[in-house]
Structure 1
Amino acid sequence: MTQATFKPGANAVTFKSFGVDLVGDLYLPDDFDLNKKYKTLVGASPFPQVRGQIPATYGPEMAARGFIYLGFDYLGMGDSPALLGEYKKSRYMFRLIENTWDAVSYLGTLPFVEEIYGLGVCQGGSIIASASVTDHRIKKIVTVSGMMAADGSR
């Protein structure tokens, strides 16, 4: 999608992660103007990490509040492909975190993005917290019922 075709509401987008195209929806405010800068949220959704679940609810709500919101299907989920022959391995936490970093990288290419924040719901809370610890482009995070799983304690 070229920047000239962005419009208020949901915009279908793709970006690269692990060499494949992850599929997302970029929600823009009703008064969206290509020449303005906006605070932007990258959404980390609960399992099964698909944009049609929590991001489809939070995206329009955040856009109505003046934010840009990116919800996307993580590697191997929804419309985003898994790596060849690795469906279950796509669920490794480090891959979910890297998908989030790549989403942030994509947002950083958009000239109308001012600052990037993270919003994680349930398992997405763990993903966004982990991603933000090592990616200082994510300025602030919020979690909703954040599941902070610790594999070592199981």
Structure 2
Amino acid sequence: MKSLSLTTAAALMASTAALAQVETRTVTFQNEGATLSGTLYLPENRGDAPLPAVVVTGAWTSVQEQMPANYAREMAERGFAAFTFDFRGWGKSGDLPGDVRFVESPAAKTSDIQAAFEFVATLPEVDADHVNGLGICASAGYMVDAVAGNPLVQRVGLVAPWLQNQDIVETVYGGKDGVAGLIGISQAAEAQGGDIIPAAGPEGAEGVLMPIGGYYYEADRGAIPEYDDKWNNAGWEGWLTYHPADNPRRLDKPLAIVHSESAAIPQGVQTFLAGFAGDATAQWLEDVTQFDFYDNPADVTRAADTVAEHFRLGLDG
């Protein structure tokens, strides 16, 4: 396993983001009986040759127009075909089984990512031999699950990954009693067909998933018209019992991670990397918060540089 410090990475990598424009195309694809809405990002004036591709996924509760779109544009500017989409139950995509929406389901989202890879590999603009995955925040774990053992995918990159295990879950969500209480809420919500609350709110707000202000609550950042801004309490059990930090050995693809000690649960990344036996590049940026990774131009650019270079290495093989 190899690890690059910020200084080393900066010395090795210059931004290759061109001044070229990016064009987009809205598409749909199917998974488990539902129609999912996606967007293909392509470099303008790209020629006729198929391009290496990147499937980009975002944080929990997010829609494709938020941080996934930012990174998809960065990838397209660097010469990749990039693809984003709304998971089932979110944004413009169809419902989960039972007409359920706004459930943060690791299993369902992993399945959706796998379906997205299958769809992208069929597109004429895409070089099906060079398809990669980029997961941001919560979807980092889903992305790892979706690419592990997947012959369609060559490499994986994770930005600001939220990789939790039981210890981290208990630390974040109020200890064993807090976790048990949330699982009880989840089971009650599921029994009654769902219990939907706001996803984002001002700091200290009650009855809100994320009462912290910031990205999801600010209209010029993540609080865009397309954002559902909803959370179904039925999703707590699946989320709290999902422990991707404990399962690094399932990943059989070269890995690049960009994170910061100032962002969310860096200990999860450290645990994951300690157990990962494959080829890994880790770039640790200084004083970058979780939300900075979503839309702060300088930090998004640095993260995009690292993962794009990682994906380009696959073109040599």
Residue aligning to 1:121: 136
Residue aligning to 2:24: 10
Structure 1 residues 18 and 49 mapped into 2: Cα distance closer, same or farther (>3 Å)?
A: farther
Partner residue of 1:54 out of 67, 76, 79: 67
Deviation at 1:134, TM superposition (A): 3.0
SS in 1 for 2:148: helix
Residue segments in structure 2 that go unaligned for 5+ positions in a row: 1-21, 166-240, 244-317
Tell whether the 8 Å contact from 1:9 to 1:60 is kept in structure 2 after alignment: no
Deviation at 1:86, TM superposition (A): 4.3
- Measured in 1, the distance between the counterparts of 2:242 and 2:38 equals 32
Deviation at 1:93, TM superposition (A): 1.2
Name the % identity. 28
* Greater strand content: 1
Structure 1 residues 135 and 31 mapped into 2: Cα distance closer, same or farther (>3 Å)?
A: same
Higher relative contact order (CA 8 A, sep 6+): 1
Work out whether 1:137 is the aligned partner of 2:152.
yes
Q: CA RMSD in A?
A: 1.8
Residue segments in structure 1 that go unaligned for 5+ positions in a row: 1-7
SS in 2 for 1:141: strand
Partner residue of 1:83 out of 96, 103, 112: 96
What letter matches 1:59 in structure 2?
Answer: A
What letter matches 1:27 in structure 2?
Answer: Y
Deviation at 1:57, TM superposition (A): 0.8
The number of equivalent residue pairs is 145
TM-score normalised to structure 2 length: 0.43
Tell whether the 8 Å contact from 1:44 to 1:127 is kept in structure 2 after alignment: no
Greater Cα radius of gyration, structure 1 or 2: 2
Tell whether the 8 Å contact from 1:126 to 1:148 is kept in structure 2 after alignment: yes
**1:43-64, CA deviations, whole angstroms, 9 ceiling, x for partnerless residues?**
1211114101112211221111
TM-score normalised to structure 1 length: 0.86
Work out whether 1:112 is the aligned partner of 2:125.
yes
